[in-house]
Amino acid sequence: MDRIQTMEVFSRVAELGSFSRAAEQLNLPPATVTNAVQALEKHIGVRLLQRTTRKVTLTDEGITYLERCTRLLAEFEDVEALFQRDQLQPRGVIRVDLPERLAHTTVIPALPDFFARYPNLRIKLSATDRFIDLVGEAVDCVVRAGPLSDSTLVARRIGSMEQINCAAKSYLDRYGRPQTLGDLQHHMVVNFFSSRTGRDLGWEYMEDGEPRFLKLPGQISVASSEAYLASCIAGLGLIQAPRFGLEELLESGAVEEVLPDYKPAPLPVSVVYAHNKHLSPRVRVFVDWIARLLADRYT
């Protein structure tokens, strides 16, 4: 087994946390998988995996090695893809990170269509609301809402999301419906804190075409869009969120829009990937597909 194959075996064992499951997926004898990882550890001189009777976990050295392996294997796939005759059927793994709510409500339900078109591709999907280091975490592309601050990345603008101020009917019935910005001082908000700084984001409104921010009281701070909406529905306070995805709650009356004249600015939506002159076919087809998917929803 050559070095590339050995790295692929190690990566699959690390991903699945199991030698037997890796052997099954790779269609290899279990002994071959075990021997390949042992040979790799002997060659580099460190233990990469901790084995117990119940599970397999990465050592600290294994975590570092896996990060490098992931990048090298992706680059190897990309080099091969540059010379593939059939560019319409790319193969390999695409590592993607999406905002949590967008993944659940929009992208994952549409993935059967993507796999029907590209059956030789696999997607390793993380759905979080934290900022991802694409290069450091070996992620191929992300979807981000908001301005892009990292100039080393390529952002393909898709559209923008209208944001609104809203709260659960149960909360508004109890505390009243704010009519002015001044009324907000007598209300509670659900705070959303930055995964990078740990600080709560301010309550945003527009004035003379410029964003302004207020610091408002709240009993709960979250870093997840799903938890943010759940807190609103539970009556814990006012939130600011994209209108898209709230239509059913708004139509049913469970959630009501407030202060429509003081909405936050629309959020730009972009597909972001690392600068690469030769974007691999596997990543390119996914970027094109998700751009079309989201462009139908955001204007």
- 202 and 249 co-located in one domain: yes
- The count of domains in the chain is 3
Residue 98 near residue 143, CB atoms below 8 Å: yes
Give the residue numbers spanning the domain of 14.
1-83
Per-residue pLDDT at 88: 59
- 261 and 169 co-located in one domain: yes
- 277 and 152 co-located in one domain: yes
Task: List the CATH number of the domain containing 153.
Answer: 3.40.190.10
Per-residue pLDDT at 3: 82
Residues paired with 9 in a beta bridge: none
- 23 and 93 co-located in one domain: no
- 201 and 251 co-located in one domain: yes
Residues 6+ apart with CB under 8 A from 48: 10, 14, 37, 40, 41, 58, 59, 61, 62, 65, 66
CA distance 285 to 114: 9
Query: In sequence order, what E strands does the chain have?
Result: 49-51, 56-58, 92-98, 121-127, 141-145, 153-161, 163-168, 190-192, 203-207, 210-214, 220-222, 239-242, 255-258, 267-274
Q: Mind listing the pLDDT tens digit of every residue in the chain (299 residues)?
A: 788 888 888 888 887 888 888 888 788 888 999 999 998 888 888 899 988 767 788 988 888 888 888 778 777 776 766 665 555 578 888 989 998 888 988 899 999 999 999 999 999 998 888 777 776 677 888 998 877 766 667 888 888 889 999 999 999 999 999 999 999 999 999 999 887 778 888 899 998 888 999 999 999 999 888 999 999 999 999 999 999 889 999 999 999 999 999 999 998 889 988 766 457 788 889 999 999 998 877 76
Per-residue pLDDT at 273: 85
Task: List the CATH number of the domain containing 48.
Answer: 1.10.10.10
Per-residue pLDDT at 156: 87
CA distance 214 to 194: 16
Per-residue pLDDT at 244: 83
- 58 and 203 co-located in one domain: no
- 155 and 271 co-located in one domain: yes
Last-in-domain residue among 38, 53, 83: 83
Last-in-domain residue among 53, 83, 113: 83
- 216 and 124 co-located in one domain: no
- 192 and 256 co-located in one domain: yes
- 15 and 76 co-located in one domain: yes
Last-in-domain residue among 48, 83, 118: 83
